[in-house]
Structure 1
């Protein structure tokens, strides 16, 4: 067997998306690459898993290269689960997700299939990193990203992992290679989407609803991912699957609950 690291590659834009093809080509420089990715776009799917329908996973050949590839009928999280349990010869040394077409900074990580694949790998004890380019165009230029993608993955592969398995969310600004100022280690900016549903009618007169919205950044501080991206830097945010709010945990422990039949009273 090869002594190269095993690299699992996935995404949420689908296995033929230009972003994942750029990522696969970069990862071929670093290890033995296995691609398990959705057979269709799964953007905004979050951490969904397939439970009520069957899953299909077929071996495919997308382009030239030494990588082994499968397209899956499920979600990005399904792809990671299936790769680990049924496809790869052993647990991968790293899971790499992306390169996503469009931002996954700030609040967007809550909805992102790209980032959810990273979290799922992390749950399984695998170092993982998700990459996103701030360009939604299908023909986006991923060349400026490749250098930094390789640098970051090599840092993870060839440096000791600390107390917890590392899990990173990386966003890359839509800039030419010479315009990127460098890399910033950041925290997730506080933000929200101001959304609404437009009521429309299809050609047969049936009413349907179309989600529209505007991104609202509520956090302009210089240590955030939004600031870094706005100012020409690649942002790296360490993430985790533990959603416990530790800032309020001890406060809640001070609550005194009294249980009565049929309901609870707290003081």
Structure 2
């Protein structure tokens, strides 16, 4: 009898977020599930880890009928993956899935994303990993159209594996199921946030700031995640965590001292 794959689930929106609850539903169709997720929202946390504070990781029972195990962690998404692998799980998981994030992690957003940083941390530790995001920031987002693609892509990774040092960044458009055209393997679009700070003063006379900004896509290519999403496709971007600019090494070596 084939042994079911062991699936580690995490996210950055917190263990009670609808996105992760839907992700759990999908993964229970595929294998044995263990959830280790933040006890509070950690969006925009990136790859931060906790080094100057204690970490707590406690078992919880959010679904009285559930047979899988769940734990809440006081740390970041990357902390969740580290603790799961080193303290919670009895063996290395066959795959780590992170999400389903409430909102986009396409293009430059991958840099800031706690969802993707959890997947990257798993990749660093030699575990195939996928970050899933739905382009809907609403707490009441409809995740049903995304589920088919989440399951299909997860099963493909379990079947085919991923090269060392690579994880997948999957973004799903906010569309009814019959309007999603399929999947596209893409590159990350060259885009950025043009940011500003809204300066205000509190009643005690102290200045404070709200971060504001506009997302600007300068990339007109039709092979990017932003293009695919705008055309109704699920975007799949292979992401590597080797940040070396290999193409610049030779030129840098030619600089005079």
TM range (shorter): over 0.9
Q: Paired residue for 1:156? A: 157
1:163 deviates by 4.2
Deviations 1:14-38 (A, max 9, x none): 0000000000110000011000000
1:166 deviates by 4.2
Deviations 1:49-106 (A, max 9, x none): 0000000010001124322100000000000000000001101000000000000000
Q: Paired residue for 2:120? A: 119
Q: Paired residue for 1:242? A: 242
Tell me how far apart the structure 2 counterparts of residues 5 and 165 of structure 1 sit (CA, whole Å).
21
Contact 1:28 1:66 in 2 (8 A): no
Point out where structure 1 has 5 or more consecutive residues left out of the alignment. 258-267
**Equivalence map 1:211-222=2 (5 Å):** 211-222=211-222
Contact 2:128 2:162 in 1 (8 A): no
Tell me how far apart the structure 2 counterparts of residues 24 and 232 of structure 1 sit (CA, whole Å).
25
Point out where structure 2 has 5 or more consecutive residues left out of the alignment. none
Q: Paired residue for 1:136? A: 137
Contact 2:103 2:133 in 1 (8 A): yes
Tell me how far apart the structure 2 counterparts of residues 62 and 244 of structure 1 sit (CA, whole Å).
42
Relative to structure 2, which stretch is displaced further, 163-172 or 212-221?
163-172
Contact 1:220 1:226 in 2 (8 A): no
Contact 1:126 1:165 in 2 (8 A): no
Deviations 1:163-220 (A, max 9, x none): 4254100000000000000000000000111101111122433221000000010102
TM-score of the two chains, using structure 2 as the length reference: 0.97
Structure 2 SS opposite 1:169: strand
Relative to structure 2, which stretch is displaced further, 61-70 or 81-90?
61-70
RMSD: 1.4
Q: Paired residue for 1:255? A: 255
Contact 2:27 2:151 in 1 (8 A): yes
Tell which structure's C-alpha radius of gyration is larger: 1
Structure 2 SS opposite 1:126: coil
For these two proteins, the number of residue pairs brought into alignment is 256
